[in-house]
């Protein structure tokens, strides 16, 4: 899992016992995703299953990030990465943008029970 929401790291690592890497810049996040995909293709590990982005970060442009992520995904690899976006406020515009780029929106604060519910379909 790759996150840019640092407040979620303890929830993932300690409470949910999931491996979690942090990245706070779009470019480094895409590089991390590419490395995880290569590891999986080479049989040396698994690609990320999830990416959590923080829409409260003014440097993050969700549309641009999703285009870069799509370009980083090999066409022939059967790898699916779910992207979740979190923010402390939500507007109709933000929700529409998330829907357009097929990102699941999660309002902050995010609690363990909410994460368990959201991730349950993907963890088996």
Find out whether the peptide bond into 109 is cis, omega within 30 degrees of 0.
Answer: yes
Rounded Cα distance, 35 and 94, in Å: 30
The answer to whether 84 touches 118, Cβ cutoff 8 Å, is yes
Q: What is the pLDDT along the chain (124 residues), one digit of tens a residue?
A: 777 778 888 888 898 888 889 988 889 999 999 999 999 989 998 899 999 999 998 888 999 999 999 998 887 767 889 999 999 988 898 899 999 999 999 998 999 999 899 888 877 6
CA 24 → CA 15, 32, 55, distances in Å?
22, 11, 12
- pTM of model > 0.85: yes
> What tokens appear for 36 in the block?
């995880």
Given CA atoms 52, 54, 60, 100 in this order, what sign does their dihedral have? positive
The answer to whether 53 touches 60, Cβ cutoff 8 Å, is yes
**CATH node for 2-122:** 3.40.50.2300
Give how far the C-alpha of residue 116 lies from the chain's centroid of Cα atoms, to the nearest Å: 15
């Amino acid at each position: 899992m790759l996150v840019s929401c640092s407040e979620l790291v303890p929830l993932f690592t300690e409470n949910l016992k999931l491996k979690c890497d942090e990245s706070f810049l779009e470019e480094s996040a895409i590089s991390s995703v590419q490395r995880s995909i290569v590891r999986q293709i080479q049989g040396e590990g698994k690609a990320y299953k999830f990416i959590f982005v923080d829409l409260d970060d003014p440097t993050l442009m969700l549309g641009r990030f999703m285009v870069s992520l799509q370009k980083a995904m090999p066409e022939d690899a059967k790898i699916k990465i779910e992207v979740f976006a979190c923010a402390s406020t939500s507007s109709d515009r933000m929700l529409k943008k998330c829907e357009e780029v097929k990102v699941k929106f999660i309002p902050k604060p995010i609690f363990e029970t909410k994460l368990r519910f959201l991730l349950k379909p993907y963890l088996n």
